[in-house]
Amino acid sequence: GTGILDGWFPRDQAEHETETLHNAFNDFATLVRRYPDSKYAGDAYQRMIYLRNELAQHEISVAEYYLSRKAWTGAANRARIVIERYEQSTWRKRALEIMVTAYRELGLEQLADDAQRVLDLNKDIAANLYNFDAELEKPPESSWYKFW
């Protein structure tokens, strides 16, 4: 959730260390795998989707930084991580765009063309999946503090 200071000092979860996010994702995955019929499985799955998108956003943020510094190899590598590890995230389109840019700047035309081809082929699919994922992007509000 958001705290009282977030209005004055906004923070982006993707800019923070990701170890906690990875640990939370793994814990929710364990719950879903071990207890798929649990009343908590659906909630855990939605939280996994949110965490997956946050982790992918972190990689994109780093890739964008590398782009701004003209560190093309670093940008391409961070974008590739999104495609390989978080292929179902809402950030895969941006990852492919970064790969196209970085590979072109590196003179790796075949890789740039391949990334562009994947981007073009999945344009409609990506838009539809993004709309679906957007509904699940934020975790459900916790109600542990509600007494009534």
CATH code where residue 116 lies: 1.25.40.10
pLDDT tens string, the chain, 148 residues long: the values are: 456 666 666 655 445 578 889 899 999 999 999 999 999 999 999 999 999 999 999 999 999 999 999 999 999 999 999 999 998 888 999 999 999 999 999 999 999 999 999 999 887 665 555 444 444 455 555 544 444 4
When computed from its CA atoms, the radius of gyration of the chain, rounded to whole angstroms, is 18
Residue 141 lies in a domain: no
User: Based on the structure, what is the number of domains in the chain?
Assistant: 1
Residue 64 lies in a domain: yes
Put simply, whether the predicted model's pTM sits higher than 0.85 gets the answer: no
Listing DSSP states for 101-133 in one string gives: HHHHHTT-HHHHHHHHHHHHHTHHHHHHHHHHH
